[in-house]
Amino acid sequence: MVSRAPMAAVFGCAGPELSQDEAAFFRDCDPLGFILFARNCRSRGQIRRLTGALRQAVGRADAPILMDHEGGRVQRLPNPPWRKVPAPAVLGILPCEDAVAAARLNGRLMAMELLDLGVDVNCVPCLDVNDPAGHQVIGDRAYSSDPSVVAKLGRAQADGMLAGGLLPVIKHLPGHGRAGVDSHLELPVVTASRRELSETDFKPFKDLADLPLGMTGHVLFTELDPSRPATLSKTIIVQFIRQWIGFDGLLFTDDLSMQALGGEIGQRAARALEAGCDIALHCNGKAGEMHAVASACAALSGPAQDRWQRALAARLPPDPDAYEDLRARFEGLI
C-alpha cells in the first residue's frame, strides 16, 4: 500500500502543550511538519513532550520540527538554562580563521541542543547581506555587509549543523538585507538593479545553492518583478532563485502571517504554492488561520517530495564529540 504524501504546509501551535483540537486538526490535515517559537519552549521535558505529541498527531516519527534559533535577537530557547547564543554579526567581526571555526562550532552546538529536544531543522543560516541603510529587522542577524564573509560563515555554520545531524535552512531568498521596512509589518520595496543584486545580495545564496532547504523573503524587487514580492512571484522563484542562483532544494515560504503579504491568509498560501514555493509556512498557531491555509494546500508535489528526500539524505550521523568541550572551544574563540 502506498501512503499518501503529507500536506505542503508547516504549522505552529499556540502554546507549550498541544491541545486536543490542535492534535485533531493536525491528524486530519497531515502537514509535512511543524515549527516552534519561544511561546512553545519552557523546559527540556516540556519541549520533548510537545515534539513527541506533534509527531504522534500525524503518525510520522520523522515529521520535521523546525525552529529559527539564530541567536542574538532571535533566540527561541530561554537563557537560562540554555546558553545565550550570540548574534551572527558577532561572528562576522572575528578574524577570518576564528570566525569560520566559531561558526562551525556554533552549528555543532545548535545541533546538539535542538536534536536533544526533538527539533531537527533550524532556519539558519541567514544569508542576507547587511545593508547599514536598510531596516534593522536584519541588522545583526546578518554575519556581515560583505557577501563573501556571509557566504563563508554561512557555509561553516551549515556544515556544523549537518555534521551534527541537524538540517539548515538558507534564508531569505533572494535577499532581505536591503529592505527599508520590517516585512513583519509591511512590504519592503527594493529598487536596486539586477546587477547590484547579482553582485551583492544573490552571491551568498549562489555560493550555498547546493544546500537542501531554503526560505523565501517577503520583499518586492522592482527590477525583478514590479508587482509581486518574491514569495508570490513565479518570475523570481523560477528565473532568479531556481535558475540564476541555482537553488534546487525544498523551498519554504517565510511566515505567511507576516503583514508584508496582502490578501486573505488562505489566498496567500495558494498564491505562494502556485508561484513555485514547495511548502507554505504558517507560524502563529491561530486556529482559524491554520484552517484557511490548510484549505488552500494540496499534498506535497512529486518534485517537492524528491527535494525533501534529498534533504534527509544530506544529514550526517552526529559526531560523538562532547558538548562541553565544543562549547569551551566556541567560547574561547568569541
With a cut of 50, say whether residue 1 has pLDDT above it. no
What's the Cα-to-Cα distance from 236 to each of 9, 143, 178, 254, 272, rounded to whole Å? Answer: 21, 24, 16, 15, 12
**Contact status, residue 149 vs residue 143, Cβ threshold 8 Å:** yes
Select from 31, 50, 52, 25 the least CA-distant residue to 39: 50
Residue located via cell numbers 517537492: 304
Tell me, what's the pLDDT at 319? Answer: 75
Select from 285, 248, 291 the least CA-distant residue to 12: 285
The pTM of this model reads 0.97
Supply the residues annotated as catalytic: 184, 254
Cell of 334: 568569541
With a pLDDT cut of 70, the percent of the chain lying above it is: 99
245 versus 2: the higher-pLDDT residue is: 245
Interatomic CA distance for residues 26 and 291, integer angstroms: 10
Stretch 28-46: mean pLDDT, rounded? 98
* Domains of the chain and any CATH numbers: 7-333 (3.20.20.300)
pLDDT in tens, 108-142: 999 999 999 999 999 999 999 999 999 999 999 99
pLDDT in tens, 311-327: 999 988 887 779 999 99
pLDDT in tens, 146-162: 999 999 999 999 999 99
Tell me, what's the pLDDT at 4? Answer: 87
What's the Cα-to-Cα distance from 210 to each of 8, 110, 204, 248, 323, rounded to whole Å? Answer: 22, 21, 11, 7, 28
Cell of 207: 555560493
pLDDT in tens, 172-184: 999 999 999 999 9
Stretch 10-14: mean pLDDT, rounded? 98
Tell me, what's the pLDDT at 318? Answer: 80
Assign 3-class secondary structure to the chain.
CCCCCCEEEEECCCCCCCCHHHHHHHHHHCEEEEEECHHHCCCHHHHHHHHHHHHHHHCCCCCCEEECCCECCECCCCCCCCCCCCCHHHHHCCCHHHHHHHHHHHHHHHHHHHHCCCCCEECCCECCCCCCCCCCCCHHHCCCCCHHHHHHHHHHHHHHHHHCCCEECEEEECCCCCCCCCCCCCCCEECCCHHHHHHCCHHHHHHCCCCCEEEECCCEECCCCCCCCHHHCHHHHHHHHHHHCCCCCEEECCCCCCCCCCCCHHHHHHHHHHHCCCEEEECCCCHHHHHHHHHHCCECCHHHHHHHHHHHHHCCCCCCCCHHHHHHHHHHHC
Interatomic CA distance for residues 262 and 257, integer angstroms: 10
Number of Cβ within 10 Å of residue 234's Cβ equals 14
pLDDT bucket at 45, cuts 50 / 70 / 90: very high
Angle at 263 between CA 261 and CA 266, to 5 degrees: 95
Stretch 245-269: mean pLDDT, rounded? 97
Tell me, what's the pLDDT at 163? Answer: 94
With a cut of 70, say whether residue 244 has pLDDT above it. yes
Cell of 285: 498557531
Cell of 194: 539586477
With a cut of 60, say whether residue 86 has pLDDT above it. yes
Tell me, what's the pLDDT at 291? Answer: 98
- Upstream peptide bond of 16 is cis (omega within 30 degrees of 0): no
Cell of 146: 560583505
Stretch 40-62: mean pLDDT, rounded? 98
Angle at 258 between CA 256 and CA 260, to 5 degrees: 105
Stretch 255-259: mean pLDDT, rounded? 96
With a cut of 80, say whether residue 102 has pLDDT above it. yes
Interatomic CA distance for residues 270 and 282, integer angstroms: 12
With a cut of 80, say whether residue 265 has pLDDT above it. yes
